[in-house]
């Protein structure tokens, strides 16, 4: 992992974990107001540390209003996994290092600028 120091990785991990915590709080608030009374019961099986259970809970409830937050949470989760297995900072499409400035702004991104542009073009083309 050229150019990424252990200190930098620890910092990124902190940022990602902090962001994740915040997002979970927001998601849970939204679930609470959307599902109402059923919420506590549904979440009784999903404790804070058991994110996976809450992820499937969110998938089951398929609340469209959670869409962007869910995607961000998934991206953060994947970034944390890449931190663990040492592939963090490398583009998952072309394998090249992601621009440091880009990681600074979006620490959870799995794509370099070029591949992200490609993907966005593709998304626009298929949306038409």
Q: Return the H-helix or E-strand segment holding 103.
A: helix 100-105
- CB closer to Zn ion, 22 vs 94: 94
Number of H helices, E strands in the chain: 6, 0
Q: How many residues bind Zn ion (CB under 5 A)?
A: 5
**Which of 24, 23, 14 minimizes the C-alpha distance to 80?**
14
Which residues in 78-117 contact Zn ion (CB under 5 A)?
Answer: 91, 93-94, 112, 115
* 121 vs 10: CA distance, rounded Å: 33
Which residues in 31-70 contact Zn ion (CB under 5 A)?
Answer: none
Q: State in angstroms the smallest separation of the CB of 127 from Zn ion.
A: 22
Q: Contact between 27 and Zn ion (CB under 5 A)?
A: no
Q: State in angstroms the smallest separation of the CB of 110 from Zn ion.
A: 9
- CB closer to Zn ion, 27 vs 111: 111
For residues 68, 62, 35, 51, the Cα torsion angle rounded to the nearest 10 degrees is: -70
Kindly list the residues in this chain that would bind Zn ion in the complex (CB under 5 A). Answer: 91, 93-94, 112, 115
């Amino acid at each position: 992992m050229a150019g990424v120091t252990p200190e930098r990785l620890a910092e990124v991990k902190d940022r990602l974990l902090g962001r994740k915590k915040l997002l979970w709080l927001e998601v849970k608030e939204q679930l609470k107001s959307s599902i109402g009374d059923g919420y506590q019961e549904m979440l009784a099986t999903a404790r804070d540390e058991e994110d996976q259970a809450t992820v499937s809970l969110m998938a089951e409830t398929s609340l469209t209003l959670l869409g962007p937050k869910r995607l961000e949470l998934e991206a953060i989760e994947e970034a944390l996994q890449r931190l663990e297995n040492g592939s963090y900072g490398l583009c998952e499409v072309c394998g090249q290092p992601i621009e440091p400035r880009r990681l600074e702004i979006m620490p959870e991104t799995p794509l370099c600028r070029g591949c992200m542009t490609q993907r966005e073009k593709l998304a626009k083309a298929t949306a038409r």
